[in-house]
Structure 1
Amino acid sequence: MDTLPIILAVVLATTLAIGSISLLSGHKNVVNSAGQCPCSEAKFCERIKDTTRKEIFVFSLNAKQDNWKFYNWDKVTTVVMVGYFDIQLVCWAHKYGARAIIIGKVETSVLPNQTARSQWVQKQLDFVDKNYLDGINFDYERAILYNQTQLRNGYTDLVRETRQAFREKFPSSMISVDVAWSPAGIDSRYYDFVGLSEASDYFFVMAYDEQSQILGECIAYANSGLYRTMEGVNEYLEIGIPSDKLILGVPWYGYYYPCLTLTKADKCYLKKVPFRGVNCSDAAGRELNYYTIIQLLKNSTSGRIFEKSTMTPYFNYKNISSGIMHQIRYDDPQSLGYKYTFAIDEHLRGVGMWNTECVNYTSGKHDDVIAVKEMWGALPDYEK
């Protein structure tokens, strides 16, 4: 996901007596010898068959077993491995009836070239086949301008060709596409959203980084405001995307903004940092995981403030070493709960988050233990 810095491991393809290490689209993969199920029980190598259930769709970022074993597997239906691949996580997910998938990393040069697309699809298919995976997720977030028809059509064709090839070999496999919080050309992404919807199983609507292009005052604002999120989802519905094809993705992280000026009305004016043709953006700040945010909150100058205009919390914080005032904009179980309720009321396919590693599973500190329990607990209780 482009929202956070991700270093994808690149490994030389080598065949070993006890297994193999193969390279595919930036994913590091370690598997047992061909044809041998690496799981403790053979049934955990079987792919998930249910293609109609509601989704709790989560992105796992370079996690180790000490983390992913503590996810709430009573809720998770799909886990996406980002920046890594762990065959034991595939086994673990299947043990709890959840899909395990990877991101299908694709370069722009592949999109308009039919031969390159076919080769790309075959590589993904081979990787998924060898590793008992349940599908792939497209996280292409590059700009495609409105007049770049060849690229736009090429992306739709790639998703369609991928799904066709996967369904032929694995009828229950699922192909998902990550899309911006609104279809209105966010960050110059003028994709063929209707075509992509028809070509895939569902969209993961990234209802965060909603300040990637700030068109009004250059001030800190909610990363995932409830009403803007609702507006974006409704725009997808209005262009004909079925509600059952939309998964509402929410952030388990926030932004730490240095204020040029912090007014008495709590307006935090930002340094202008351009992004894709707009002079002000959330790049003026930096992302913080939820577990870091709750520690900073203890030393805030304002305490937690719940902003009713966005239905999200924030607080002000003075950096002792620099003396600079900051404003931290984030989501917590309360604000996320409002978005989850909206997803349920609109009969969306489900919800999900970026990302599971924004809480601390292993510190043992009281605050972290509570945060893990409350953040996972706020997710809907869909029947699995």
Structure 2
Amino acid sequence: MKQVLLFIVVVVITMSHTVVAAAAAAAACPCSDTSLCQPLTVGPRQEFLGFTTGPNYEQFDWSHLTTLGVYYNIDPQLLCVAHSHNVRLVNGVAFPIDQLGNTQAQEQWIQQQIQWVQENNFDGINFDIEDPIWPNMTLTSALLTAFIAQTTYEFKQVNPNYQVTADVSWSPNCIDGRCYDFFGLSQATDFLVVMDYDLRSQVFSDQCTASANSPLDLVTQGMINFTNIGVPANKLVMAVPWYGYTYQCLGDSLSIDTIVCPIALVPFLGVNCSDAAGKQFPYSQIVEMLANQSLVSTGELWSDELSSPFFNYMLESGQLNQVWYDNPESLSIKVSMAKKLGLRGVSVWVLDFLSTAQPTETQMMWDAMNS
């Protein structure tokens, strides 16, 4: 670890951090109040970071959000709304790991990101790098940490209030081959966004079954694993899903009341079972399914073991399906755990998975996170 940190320091000191002169002139301010086109000057705070992939921001509960991670071509008015509520806007970014160590490509990329943020009056960036870095790729892991540290350094040179964060797997135990230097990344960023969803990707078994997308026991253990390697709790933000998976149950003579749902083996990165055997559904569609009187289903059930809801439904063909997801109750339990562990805050992937046609259900989901 000391060698990695020393390497980071050397890179940060030696790499050029010349910033694009005053960047390119910022785009014309789209807000009637031009002060909203200035980057926010708030310091560290408890975080509710939401991610968005579409122009649905008018339905968000802006009173509790602190940061919005944007993964689509933005509507210029989004800036005005976000900044009027003191919410940071950060751009979702990635970098090819095969270019780590290419200092020229890295420096050019950093300057491009700074210029983009300045031109669009944003407040920083969010790294979403999920490539496998296997245990024998220690140099690549060190180069990734050094690169993100350099990016943070150069952003802070331009504006100390710029925010640089990184998304990480739900546990530091080489999940999906991501054997990153998580302690180093926590020091190289403002905080880490722990992706506590799609947790069915690390099941070593010859018999795959449908199960929770974000089970409380694994979410809690993952956070403890991060703190056990020295990552401060206030550098961790818990990201939970506003979606679930429906799985086809395999086998003969399955009834609507079947609890154990065998599913197809769909290997992922060397692991036999994965949620790729299922189909992802936004929470709004799951609510519609539960309300569909023509659908033969069990109605909502609850797993005490996994602190997660699920239900079965049967097609006319006789095909049994099982759906696992998160609802206000399961989310509230995880938020309570995050508070108990002293985490930096919470996050959601993605805010667009609710519907204005379901005002009661939508408000309950927001309230669960705001708790």
Output the CA distance in 1 between the equivalents of 2:157 and 2:174. 33
Aligned to 1:45: 37
- The question of whether the paired residues in 1 share the 8 Å contact of 2:25 and 2:119 is answered with no
Aligned to 1:189: 178
**Correspondence 1:211 to 2:168:** no
Q: Deviation at 1:35? A: 5.6
User: What are structure 1's unaligned runs of at least 5 residues?
Assistant: 1-31
Aligned to 1:147: 136
Aligned to 1:258: 248
**Correspondence 1:221 to 2:211:** yes
Cα 1:196–1:294 change in 2 (3 A) is same
Aligned to 1:244: 234
Output the CA distance in 2 between the equivalents of 1:239 and 1:311. 26
Residue 77 (structure 2) aligned to one of 70, 88, 91: 88
More strand as a share of residues: 1
Aligned to 1:350: 345
**Residue 283 of structure 1 aligns to which amino acid in structure 2?**
A
Bigger CA drift: 206-215 or 259-268? 259-268
Q: Deviation at 1:336? A: 0.2
TM-score normalised by L of structure 2? 0.89
Output the CA distance in 2 between the equivalents of 1:226 and 1:201. 25
More helix as a share of residues: 2
Cα 1:94–1:271 change in 2 (3 A) is same
Bigger CA drift: 323-332 or 112-121? 112-121
Deviation digits for residues 193-231 of structure 1 (CA, Å, limit 9, x no counterpart): 011111001010111100013213400111000111000
Deviation digits for residues 322-350 of structure 1 (CA, Å, limit 9, x no counterpart): 43111000000000000001111111100
Aligned to 2:281: 288
SS of aligned partner of 1:353: strand
Output the CA distance in 2 between the equivalents of 1:183 and 1:292. 32
- The question of whether the paired residues in 2 share the 8 Å contact of 1:113 and 1:154 is answered with no
Residue 272 (structure 2) aligned to one of 279, 296, 300: 279
Aligned to 1:304: 300
Q: Deviation at 1:33? A: 7.4
Aligned length: 341
Aligned to 2:362: 372
SS of aligned partner of 2:259: coil
Output the CA distance in 2 between the equivalents of 1:232 and 1:296. 31
Residue 137 (structure 1) aligned to one of 117, 121, 126: 126
**Correspondence 1:98 to 2:87:** yes
Q: Deviation at 1:137? A: 0.2
SS of aligned partner of 1:196: helix
Q: Deviation at 1:97? A: 0.4
Output the CA distance in 2 between the equivalents of 1:74 and 1:173. 21
SS of aligned partner of 1:378: helix
TM-score normalised by L of structure 1? 0.86
- The question of whether the paired residues in 2 share the 8 Å contact of 1:100 and 1:135 is answered with yes
- The question of whether the paired residues in 2 share the 8 Å contact of 1:159 and 1:200 is answered with yes
SS of aligned partner of 2:201: coil
Output the CA distance in 1 between the equivalents of 2:99 and 2:147. 9
**Residue 336 of structure 2 aligns to which amino acid in structure 1?**
T
Output the CA distance in 1 between the equivalents of 2:109 and 2:136. 25
**Correspondence 1:335 to 2:339:** no
- The question of whether the paired residues in 1 share the 8 Å contact of 2:27 and 2:120 is answered with no
Output the CA distance in 1 between the equivalents of 2:247 and 2:176. 20
Could you say what the CA RMSD is over the residues aligned between the two structures, in angstroms? 1.6
Bigger CA drift: 108-117 or 177-186? 108-117
Cα 1:85–1:227 change in 2 (3 A) is same
Q: Deviation at 1:265? A: 5.2
Bigger CA drift: 232-241 or 151-160? 151-160
Bigger CA drift: 282-291 or 86-95? 86-95
Cα 1:285–1:167 change in 2 (3 A) is same
Q: Deviation at 1:377? A: 1.4
- The question of whether the paired residues in 2 share the 8 Å contact of 1:213 and 1:282 is answered with no
Q: Deviation at 1:282? A: 0.8
**Correspondence 1:231 to 2:221:** yes
Aligned to 1:314: 310
SS of aligned partner of 2:81: helix
Aligned to 1:202: 191
Deviation digits for residues 167-201 of structure 1 (CA, Å, limit 9, x no counterpart): 00011011111011111011011001011111001
User: What are structure 2's unaligned runs of at least 5 residues?
Assistant: 1-23
Output the CA distance in 2 between the equivalents of 1:57 and 1:319. 38
Output the CA distance in 2 between the equivalents of 1:35 and 1:46. 12
